[in-house]
Amino acid sequence: MRDTLIILLMKIANFILKILGKQGGNVLGKIAKKLSPNILSTFNINCPVIAVTATNGKTMTNNAIASMLRQAGKHVICNTEGNNMETGILSMFLKTCSLTGKLKADYICLEVDESYVPIVFSKIHLDTLIVLDFFRDQLDRNGEVESLILKLEEFLKTYQGNLILNQDDPNVVRLGYANPQNSKVYYFHAEAYCHATKEITEAGEGKFCPLCKTRLMYDYYQYSHIGKFHCPNCEYGKQESYVTASNIDLEGKEFIANGIPFTMQSESIYVVYNFLAVISVANLYHIDIEDVQKALSTFELNKGRLEKLTIQGVPTIINLAKNPTGSNVSLRLLREDPEPKELLFVLNDKIADGFDVSWIWDINFNELGQVQRIITSGTRAYDMAIRIKTSGYPINIIEAELDLNKAVHKLYQTNVKKYIIANYTALEPTRKEILTLEKELGK
Amino acid sequence: MKEIRILYLYPDMLELYGDYGNLQVLKYRMEKRDIQVIIDRYSIGDPKPDFLSYDLIFAGGGADNEQSILAKDLLQYEEEIKEAVRQKVFFLLICGAYQLFGKYYKGVEGNIIPGLAIFDYYTEASTDRTKRCIGNIVIEVNIGEKQTKVIGFENHGGQTHGITTPFGKVLFGNGNQFKDTQEGFFLPHVIATYLHGPLLAKNPEIADYVISTCLTRKYEEKMDLLKLDDELEEKCRKQLLVRFIPVEKQ
């Protein structure tokens, strides 16, 4: 009785906020949880819940799954904006549920923060969990990757639902062993793309077999520690794949999965991996493959994620990178682009970024091709400039500018193609600055 | 051409906080001065390295799990490493490696990981797993004949006790223990510290101290290092010192 009353009150509060033109963010969830800690478990859900967790790629994959299901005519509830902790999900439920707490949908798609998976799904029945990857990420905030994996393993020991795992991340495959009773484990895998390497070129995790502690062997690395691996001593890494990508052509923005051709809007290897997760979901829920093809071919990433803009007539690509792997996949685009270009890297060290910027030394800045000028900005502009300088770039092509507005103006003094990488709190302000610049000059 | 040989211990296991950056900085600063740098790597399963053939031995910080695996491997070289310390090979030890050169590391559950016991200090994890010394840190060090401030980042649960010759005095941050006044361990040819960042990135004076100490030992003459363009480093230090330390204390 009490929870239904709280839901009703929150619905009214939401209605008032809406009239006032306010979003409310996580506020509703925070209040509701304070009033009743277990309120998340009282919603009436009569459809499959599909969740995505990972270090990188949660938002993109979750939104792509929702768009694929919608393409197939399904009604989907989804935390599109990336509110991926308990109160964020709760807020979204409160906004979308009926007055009696019913969530009417064919599917509920959630991206969930790695450490919140056990909490959220002790309260909601989970039908399918997708785990994409584990990378080092803001160690001062999140702790070591290992402790996150252990938390998930503990949760999965009793989990009975579908488990979709990235077969090319040894830390993720570990999770497939958590509950030997659960046979519903599905792996997706990608064959080597043209820039895959024999040796690891970027920082990675999980070099040892979790079963027998032997050093893992790799046939190839796609990026970071993602690639085809196996244990020379035991069966680890020899799972059967549920979905396999082949003929990956990033320039042509296409690949083949289980013999079926797919096209996409992006030219990044990690988008292929995220899409393999989407295709796995589609196969499990028997979604018409044409709908999947159509959804993926038109799927647009969120703003600031591999976003292509034209500023002052200059082609510009802006991408979020909040950890070494995110930065490395962005820099791969530079490396794989033969044209002359300039780079702006904006690095902040605010609370949401993590205070520790040591991770920038795990970024691989080698051989960026024809980079003619590098500008750094953000609260840690100098740290970034020193980092890049140490990789051997001439000091006279590197400029550090703490003031973002000035940095952006300096960047557009030339008409060479721009690549912009920004970390978490730096992304929106950076985007805003370049869009403002475009408007100013348009006048 | 002068040459400095570096042994990098457990590069694939002690590499959590970008500590390899220290070697990138050393390499950069030596190559700018026409000193050839050779970096050899040693990890579990590799043939035994000849510790005495190196001018500098470096190791960084790692995840707890990996640290306990490699501690066993490291201990088999106890005698060789002791001899290298006696012969004043330079040791640069960050975080986990700093701990492993002490007597022992006692984990949260009371488990003891024996160290090399080359130095007298020892480390015990804070009993509360959620409590760690995390944050920016500034220490004041006397190195060579100079006094300088060293800027870095610390992230450690271990509390290190029994230090008589610290690396520096804490001006901002925690240090060897929660709210400590001292940080790290120092001998003229040993720098052992919790500072990531990496340590040498924003502290070129420390980098040059390491380089000149190695050169002096190897070539048995004191050498002046060519001055490099450290404008970015100087600006970075200025910006961060203002941020972390009140003006009156600077």
Catalytic, out of B133, B156, B189, B196: B196
Domain final residue pick, A298, A328, A344? A298
Residue B248: pLDDT band with limits 50, 70, 90: low
Residue B250: pLDDT band with limits 50, 70, 90: low
pLDDT for the residue numbered A425: 95
Alpha carbon of residue B143 to chain centroid:
14
- A188 and A311 belong to one structural domain: no
Residue A443: pLDDT band with limits 50, 70, 90: low
B21, A400: Cβ pair inside 8 Å? no
pLDDT for the residue numbered B183: 98
A361, B136: Cβ pair inside 8 Å? no
pLDDT above 80: residue B249: no
Residues of B with Cβ-Cβ distance to A398 under 8 angstroms: 232
Closest C-alpha to A169, from A100, A232, A239: A239
Q: How does pLDDT run across B108-160, given as a tens digit for each residue?
A: 888 899 999 999 999 999 887 778 899 999 999 999 888 999 999 999 999 99
Number of Cβ pairs closer than 8 Å across A and B? Answer: 86
Q: Which residue's entry shows tokens 């050839």?
A: B36
pLDDT above 80: residue A23: no
B24, A402: Cβ pair inside 8 Å? no
In contact, A179 and A157? CB cutoff 8 Å? yes
pLDDT for the residue numbered B128: 79
In contact, A431 and A303? CB cutoff 8 Å? yes
- Is there a domain that residue A171 lies in? yes
Q: Residue A4 and residue A2: Cα distance in Å, rounded?
A: 6
Higher-confidence position of A305 and A429? A429
In contact, A93 and A123? CB cutoff 8 Å? no
- A282 and A368 belong to one structural domain: no
Token pair of B177, please? 């223990």
- Is there a domain that residue A387 lies in? yes
- Is there a domain that residue A36 lies in? no
Q: Residue B193 and residue B153: Cα distance in Å, rounded?
A: 11
Q: Residue B141 and residue A113: Cα distance in Å, rounded?
A: 41
pLDDT above 70: residue B91: yes
- A289 and A322 belong to one structural domain: no
Alpha carbon of residue A326 to chain centroid:
9
- A420 and A293 belong to one structural domain: no
Domain final residue pick, A266, A298, A330? A298
pLDDT for the residue numbered A83: 86
Q: Residue A281 and residue A75: Cα distance in Å, rounded?
A: 16
pLDDT above 90: residue A442: no
In contact, A419 and A341? CB cutoff 8 Å? yes
The yes-or-no answer on residue B156 being catalytic is no
Residue B17: pLDDT band with limits 50, 70, 90: confident
Query: What CATH number does the domain containing A327 carry?
Result: 3.90.190.20
The Cα of A145 is separated from the nearest Cα of chain B by a number of Å equal to: 9
Interface test with A, best of B12, B14, B16, B243 (most A CBs within 10 A): B16
Phi, psi of A334 (to 5 degrees): -60, -45
Show Cβ contacts of residue A40 under 8 Å, excluding neighbours closer than 6 positions: A33, A86, A89, A90, A93, A120, A123, A124
Smallest CA–CA distance from B14 into chain A, residue: A205
pLDDT for the residue numbered A149: 93
Q: Which residues of B206-245 are buried (b: 16+ CB within 10 A; e: fewer)?
A: bbbbbbebbbebbeeeeeebeeeebebbebbbebbbeebe
pLDDT for the residue numbered A141: 75
Domain final residue pick, A278, A298, A318? A298
- Burial-class residue A202 by CB neighbours within 10 Å (0-12, 13-18, 19+): buried
pLDDT above 90: residue B79: yes
- Give the count of domains, chain A: 2
In contact, A424 and A404? CB cutoff 8 Å? no
Q: Residue B250 and residue B241: Cα distance in Å, rounded?
A: 8
- The CA dihedral of B50, B51, B55, B58, to the nearest 10 degrees, is 120
- A221 and A324 belong to one structural domain: no
Helix-helix angle A86-96:A27-35, to 10 degrees:
100
- A132 and A262 belong to one structural domain: yes
Residue A140: pLDDT band with limits 50, 70, 90: confident
Show Cβ contacts of residue A310 under 8 Å, excluding neighbours closer than 6 positions: A316
pLDDT above 60: residue B78: yes
- Burial-class residue B49 by CB neighbours within 10 Å (0-12, 13-18, 19+): middle
Catalytic, out of B95, B133, B189, B214: B95
pLDDT, average across residues A236-244:
96
Q: Residue A390 and residue B21: Cα distance in Å, rounded?
A: 9
| Ordered structural domains, chain B, with CATH | 3-249 (3.40.50.880)
Smallest Cβ distance to A382: which of B64, B69, B235? B235
In contact, B185 and B194? CB cutoff 8 Å? no
Tell me the range of A14-18, A105-109, A322-326, B243-247 where mean pLDDT is highest.
Answer: A105-109
pLDDT for the residue numbered A26: 84
- Is there a domain that residue A18 lies in? no
Residue A194: pLDDT band with limits 50, 70, 90: very high
What end-to-end distance do the CA atoms of chain B give, in Å?
A: 41
How distant, in Å, are the alpha carbons of A87, A103, A433 from that of A106? 23, 10, 40
Q: Residue B89 and residue A115: Cα distance in Å, rounded?
A: 44
The Cα of B246 is separated from the nearest Cα of chain A by a number of Å equal to: 18
Q: Is A146 helix (H, G, I), strand (E, B) or coil?
A: helix
- Is there a domain that residue A12 lies in? no
Higher-confidence position of A205 and B87? B87
Interface test with B, best of A201, A207, A361 (most B CBs within 10 A): A361
- A358 and A228 belong to one structural domain: no
Flag the least confident range among A69-73, A129-133, A323-327, B49-53: A323-327
Q: How many CB atoms lie within 10 A of CB B150?
A: 26
- A230 and A85 belong to one structural domain: yes
Q: What angle do CA A113, A115, A116 make, to 5 degrees?
A: 65
pLDDT above 80: residue A253: yes
Q: Residue B185 and residue B93: Cα distance in Å, rounded?
A: 9
- Is there a domain that residue A23 lies in? no
Q: How does pLDDT run across A79-135, given as a tens digit for each residue?
A: 987 789 999 999 999 999 999 899 999 999 999 999 999 999 999 999 999 999 999
Residues in A lying within 8 Å of B, measured between beta carbons: 136, 139-140, 144-146, 203, 207-208, 213, 215, 355-362, 382-383, 385-387, 389-392, 395, 398, 400, 402
How distant, in Å, are the alpha carbons of B13, B41, B72 from that of B99? 15, 20, 14
pLDDT, average across residues A224-240:
95
**What residue type is B70 in one-letter code?**
L
Token pair of A366, please? 């080698």
Flag the least confident range among A60-69, A168-177, A209-218, A341-350: A209-218
How distant, in Å, are the alpha carbons of A199, B130, B194 from that of B127? 40, 9, 19
B133 interface with A at CB cutoff 8 Å: no
Q: Which domain holds residue A394?
A: 307-442
Query: What CATH number does the domain containing A267 carry?
Result: 3.40.1190.10
Higher-confidence position of A261 and A137? A261
- A285 and A313 belong to one structural domain: no
pLDDT for the residue numbered A201: 83
Tell me the range of A303-317, A325-339, B164-178 where mean pLDDT is highest.
Answer: B164-178
Smallest Cβ distance to A385: which of B28, B153, B232? B232
Flag the least confident range among A201-205, A308-312, A335-339: A201-205
B44, A215: Cβ pair inside 8 Å? yes
- Rounded percentage of chain B residues whose pLDDT exceeds 70: 99
- A313 and A284 belong to one structural domain: no
Q: Residue A219 and residue A156: Cα distance in Å, rounded?
A: 29
**What residue type is B215 in one-letter code?**
L
Interface test with B, best of A207, A380, A384, A386 (most B CBs within 10 A): A386
A215, B155: Cβ pair inside 8 Å? no
- A152 and A282 belong to one structural domain: yes
B242 interface with A at CB cutoff 8 Å: no
Q: Rg (Cα) of chain A, in Å, rounded?
A: 22
- A272 and A361 belong to one structural domain: no
Mean pLDDT of chain B: 94
Show Cβ contacts of residue B238 under 8 Å, excluding neighbours closer than 6 positions: none
Residue A232: pLDDT band with limits 50, 70, 90: very high
- Is there a domain that residue A9 lies in? no
Interface test with A, best of B20, B129, B232, B234 (most A CBs within 10 A): B232
Residues of B with Cβ-Cβ distance to A395 under 8 angstroms: 229, 231-232
Mean pLDDT of chain A: 93
The Cβ-side half-sphere exposure at B196, using a 13 Å CA radius, reads 31
- Is there a domain that residue A238 lies in? yes
In contact, A431 and A330? CB cutoff 8 Å? no
Helices and strands, number each (H, E), in chain B: 6, 14
Smallest Cβ distance to A400: which of B15, B17, B232? B232
Q: Rounded to a whole number, what is the largest CA-CA distance in chain A? A: 69
How distant, in Å, are the alpha carbons of A181, B121, B217 from that of B177? 45, 12, 33
Beta strands in A62-143 (DSSP E): 76-78, 102-103, 107-111, 128-131
pLDDT for the residue numbered A370: 85
The Cα of A230 is separated from the nearest Cα of chain B by a number of Å equal to: 18
Q: How many CB atoms lie within 10 A of CB A442?
A: 8
Smallest Cβ distance to A386: which of B64, B155, B202? B202
The Cα of A351 is separated from the nearest Cα of chain B by a number of Å equal to: 11
Residues of A with Cβ-Cβ distance to B229 under 8 angstroms: 395
Tell me the range of A63-77, B12-26, B105-119 where mean pLDDT is highest.
Answer: A63-77
